[in-house]
Structure 1
Amino acid sequence: MEFLLPFFAWTSDPTAWVALVTLVVLEVVLGIDNLIFISILTNKLPEAQRVPARRLGIGAALIMRLILLATISFIVQLTTPVFSAFGHGFSWRDLILIAGGLFLVWKATKEIHHTVDPTDHKDSMIGQTLQLSLGAAIFQILLLDLVFSIDSIITAVGMTDHIAIMYIAVIVAVSVMLAAATPLANFIEKNPTIVMLALGFLLMIGMTLIADGMGYHVPKGYIYAAMGFSALVEGLNMLARKRKRSAD
């Protein structure tokens, strides 16, 4: 058991515990983006397939992040510029963020179009073939899992040098995502206006990923403050509508 001692050596360091708590909170907050996408996407599946799809998607996110942590030396190298254009050195991380951002913008725009014009079934997130729906949903979830996982792991590397803290933070954050996935998806499904708000969030997140990949860093605090304010306003609107219905 002596070979495990270095893995837990950080437990005697108070600053390491502060880093752990901070990183857990940060990873949970960063997971909101992924969770919103998974909730909207799985709500397009037949009801019997929704919970399994969420579990598979979030489970895959956990596995992917643990694998990335195991290859952390390689992940760190993803921030090294591989070519320059427009006065900015692009790394593999930048290219992945740009690709993921474009994917989110495309998907959110198509789903907004489908929500506004429900008769145009060509633009649904999943497609029309029932037997391919679950596979298509899992594939799209995995695609975004990869983007968010790389960003999450690079954030973790910037927070601490202890690999054990990174593992614990990732496991806790993904566990929270797993517990919150179904309640969030049910809430979104029961409140149609929330769907449009969530799609707006995805559109904003996609643009943020693109900007980050292009070298224009937007502080995440601004993004989540805007999301929180929008959610608060929509919550007040929902409360007002509920009271109006009660009064009628």
Structure 2
Amino acid sequence: MEWLTAPTLWIALLQIIVIDILLGGDNAVVIALACRRLPVEQRRKAILGGVAGAIVLRIVLLFFAINLLDLPYLKLIGAVLLLWIGVKLLLPEDEGANDKIDGGTRLITAIKTIIVADAVMSLDNVIAVAGAAGGNLYLVSLGVMVSIPIIVWGSQLVLKLMDRFPVVITFGGALLGWIAGSMAVSDNAVQPWLVNSPEWLHYVASAAGALVVVVIGLGLRKRRVTAR
């Protein structure tokens, strides 16, 4: 049970929860839209059923993602995707992106909509969480089970926090960049070139990834805001 007291484990768990919350805002919106046509007494059942299915499916996807990341060059690809996701996180919201989501008037239809939409929208979460977990599926499962209920029932609070303190979003983008840099230097295809490299190279690569996301993301956001 010594692993429970390892600081690195708790840091990784915190990263997973933060990533899921930051990237899960749209998922919370989907849940609300999927349930809006249901009778009031069925909405809670739809949310519980949809969230339960989403948690199971997310863990299955993460299981495959974690194992695939052991293949050469896939961590490099994942790192590039994470940089893009981090930059995207810092850009202004695309208003009306979820307007076409409709869960219908039946309970089972709403549950299916929540599960399918979560799976489609969770590619960024899966990549980021797989990188933060370092191959620990138990850690991933715990992080997902903690963060998804927070997204569902605390989404309004989280969104208000992000609106009031934009630095939270910037921090999230930097975190994704940090994980991207760490993933890149840990790829099996890169490791032979880094056999004699200093230990601090890992942190330099992580910091560089965070800096790239923040600089590009804030620059593009400023340009978009100015163009409006």
What is the TM-score of this pair, normalised by structure 1?
Answer: 0.46
Q: Which one has a bigger Cα radius of gyration?
A: 1
